[in-house]
Amino acid sequence: MTDLGPVAWPPAPIRTERLVLREPEARDRAAFIELLASPEVHAYLGGSRPRDELEREVPEVPERWPGSFVVDLGGAMIGQILLRRATGHRRPAAVGKVDLGYLFLPRAWGFGYAAEACAAALDWFDGVLPGEPVVLATQTANVGSMRLAAKLGFTELERFRAWDAEQWLGMRSPVTLSD
Ligand SMILES: CC(C)(COP(=O)(O)OP(=O)(O)OC[C@H]1O[C@@H](n2cnc3c(N)ncnc32)[C@H](O)[C@@H]1OP(=O)(O)O)[C@@H](O)C(=O)NCCC(=O)NCCS
């Protein structure tokens, strides 16, 4: 599910104007638990998990796999970006393609951090796997996520119904030099 193929991982930390994208560390564990336990973060993602369960089950260094970036603001984690190959995707158009996901702590919403971090992750992706498209699935009711997808250059492939809600599948075609 998470295979990005022959990509060197982890890359050197990626710096943007305000943020750093880096591999997860043990010091991020509390922020990961906060992210996974937050009902607000999971409002359109099928529900959060109980904090006590997370405290027991989240490993010492959470989510360390190729394509999993911690977004760091001033030394503290504010979110996670996920780039995974969607082998088990429900939609034929997305099968085998790399899928972008993003989860930010509510206190970090509304500052453009998600857009800044996702753009940097996609730039990195274009560098390591040139020419590969990226897909993104989100509920249409998730207005912030829909706006972010549009800002990042994703365009609609299809809408469909799943998990009792309307879902949106978008795709971003790689930028080529002639564009
Ligand atoms: C989806 C999610 C990442 C969006 O976060 P966000 O902070 O709203 O996204 P952005 O980074 O695009 O920032 C949004 C706002 O910051 C504002 N902003 C403030 N300061 C800014 C700055 N310096 N630069 C850019 N934008 C700025 C912008 O006006 C923008 O608002 P707009 O979209 O209305 O124009 C967040 O809501 C989230 O984590 N949700 C839970 C997880 C989830 O549902 N994920 C989707 C499924 S993969």
pLDDT in tens, 37-92: 999 999 999 889 999 999 999 999 999 999 999 999 999 999 999 999 977 667 88
Intra-chain end-to-end CA distance of the chain, in Å: 31
Helix count and strand count (H, E) for the chain: 4, 8
Q: Which of 16, 111, 116, 134 to mutate to test the pocket of ligand 1 (most atoms within 8 A of CB)?
A: 111
Task: Classify domain 14-131 by CATH number.
Answer: 3.40.630.30
pLDDT single digits (tens) 116-140: 999 999 999 999 999 999 999 999 9
- Cβ neighbours of residue 118 under 8 Å, at least 6 residues apart? 81, 100, 102, 148, 152
Assign 2 a pLDDT band (cuts: 50, 70, 90).
Answer: low
